[in-house]
Amino acid sequence: MSEVVAIIPARGGSKGVPRKNLRRVGGVPLVARAIASARRSGGIDRIVVSTDDVEIAAVAREWGAEVVDRPADLSGDTASSETAILHALDDLARRGVEVGVIAFLQATSPFIDSAALGDAVRGVRDGAFDSAFSAVETYGFLWRRNGVGHAEAINHDAAHRPRRQDREPHFLETGAFYVFAAESFRAAGHRFFGRVGIVEVPDRTALEIDTLSELEQARAIAPLVDAPEPIDVDAVVTDFDGVHTDDSVSVDEAGHEAVRVSRSDGMGVARLRKAGIPVLILSTETNPVVTARARKLRVEVLQGVDDKAAALRAWAEAAGIPLSRIAYLGNDVNDLACLELVGWPVAVPDSHPLVLAAARAVVDRPGGDGAVRALTERVLLARATAPENVTSQEKRSTR
């Protein structure tokens, strides 16, 4: 029986934004956001990432996609998306996969509307369209420059300015997704053929990332667009100063330091331990205060760590926990490398702006006043609402 297959071309090279498909928006790599959108849409049987890059391939597999290794001659700047899709179809055919409908997603669109994608898939699968694409409705007056550089009206009469309600709308491709029948695509050689359907998506989802400024724009609006998600992880790692504390310290006349911590955080950590979720405190400084607090909480601590990302990688590997299944709670720039590594980068609300931009979630309590407890509640809620008898590995494969 033929399948509906999502194909996401994601090559490693990019001139405008280097390593673009791995850049994070809302704390999630762009290629992973596309995979997640396809999974949420419903009606897609298989998700495939076509790439020439081992790091992209690893991220794709972590997020539950299959990988098609794309050859170098189909991965350059001049290679078309159509050639990547045809190559993926041939590869799937060799695996014995019969593809009936293709959903072509572009990872450079960070806010793919899953509901609209599902509508497009059903429209093609059920025969209402042969191909369909995402678009936003526009009433804009379009112009072009003629051969001598003068303006010419395109979609309107420049001498007549009708009201919006008296005008016919036009539709602008967003580039987020295209859905089409597989065999007809092979015959046509391009993504538009037969009865073409327009699937409208909200304006806020229409951003495409081709420049660094567009990447920053996407990061800025992600908290407004992304729906809250359960923080489903297998381990919690935290910074200390500014997370377990309010980032202030008192010093007596002998130079002894003291900090203020939250009993609520202590209860949160105890609940994580009871649920079998490992907790690690990772701190750049070496301080007896941190040692004492970790002993009180009965959790692991690594102090005096110059390279926190390397220490986190080593700890995760020793514990057998994928980085994608770890939540890291931080607040300052020395946490950025760790936040970029994990599946759930989390920030306290008064964090440095760069940390807030890197976060997938921001807890609603400040450091030293329940921030760790707030993260705990979201992690335990995800555990409580997950399907029964689903292992961590199964969760990762259906993420």
pLDDT digits (tens, 9 = 90+) for 278-327: 999 999 888 888 999 999 999 999 999 989 999 999 999 999 999 999 99
CA 340 to chain centre: 12
Q: Which stretches of the chain are assigned E, i.e. beta strand?
A: 3-9, 24-25, 28-29, 46-51, 66-69, 99-105, 131-138, 143-145, 151-153, 170-181, 196-200, 235-238, 250-251, 257-258, 279-282, 300-302, 326-330, 344-347, 361-362
- Taking the domain 235-397, which CATH number applies? 3.40.50.1000
**What was the pLDDT predicted at 260?**
86
**What was the pLDDT predicted at 325?**
94
Looking at CATH, the fold of the domain delimited by 3-145+152-224 is given as Spore Coat Polysaccharide Biosynthesis Protein SpsA; Chain A (3.90.550)
Residue type, 256: H
Taking the C-alpha atoms of residue 387 and residue 172, their distance in angstroms, rounded to an integer, is 40
User: pLDDT tens digit string along 171-198?
Assistant: 999 999 999 999 999 999 899 999 999 9
Low pLDDT (below 70) residues in the chain: 387-399
**What was the pLDDT predicted at 123?**
96
**What was the pLDDT predicted at 397?**
44
**C-alpha R_g of the chain:** 25
Residues of the chain with CATH 3.90.550.10: 3-145+152-224
| DSSP code, position 335 | G
List CB contacts of 178: < 8 A, sequence separation 6 or more: 103, 104, 131, 132, 133, 134, 191
**What was the pLDDT predicted at 393?**
41
**What was the pLDDT predicted at 388?**
53
Among 167, 197, 193, residue whose Cα is nearest residue 182: 193
**What was the pLDDT predicted at 399?**
43
Taking the C-alpha atoms of residue 76 and residue 380, their distance in angstroms, rounded to an integer, is 45
